[in-house]
Homo-oligomer: A and B are copies of this chain.
Amino acid sequence: QCSFESLVDQRIKEALSRQEPKTISCTSVTSSGRLASCPAGMVVTGCACGYGCGSWDIRNGNTCHCQCSVMDWASARCCRMV
């Protein structure tokens, strides 16, 4: 292989290895009531609810909805790439 191409490939390889590896970062958003939403740019990975309730669903793609009849708080686990 002509040294030119191998030199280019070498520079590319070095640049790729210097790239910061992407990681996942998560946070919790807790609200009173039965709805808790993740901010824009974050996804909901799970939900927690008051009164020991484990029945929830996701509304509008970013909002935890706690389904149990009596509810005092909802919490969304929100994650994104950083």
Contacts and interface: CB of A to CB of B under 8 A. Distances in A.
Given A11-B5, A47-B46, A54 B57 contact: no
A50 B57 CA distance: 10
Interface residues of A, number: 41
Interface string A1-37: 0000101110111011001011111101010000000
A19 B15 CA distance: 13
A55 B51 contact: yes
Contact of A81 (B15, B22, B30, B53): B22
A16 B20 CA distance: 12
Interface string A51-73: 11111111000000001100000
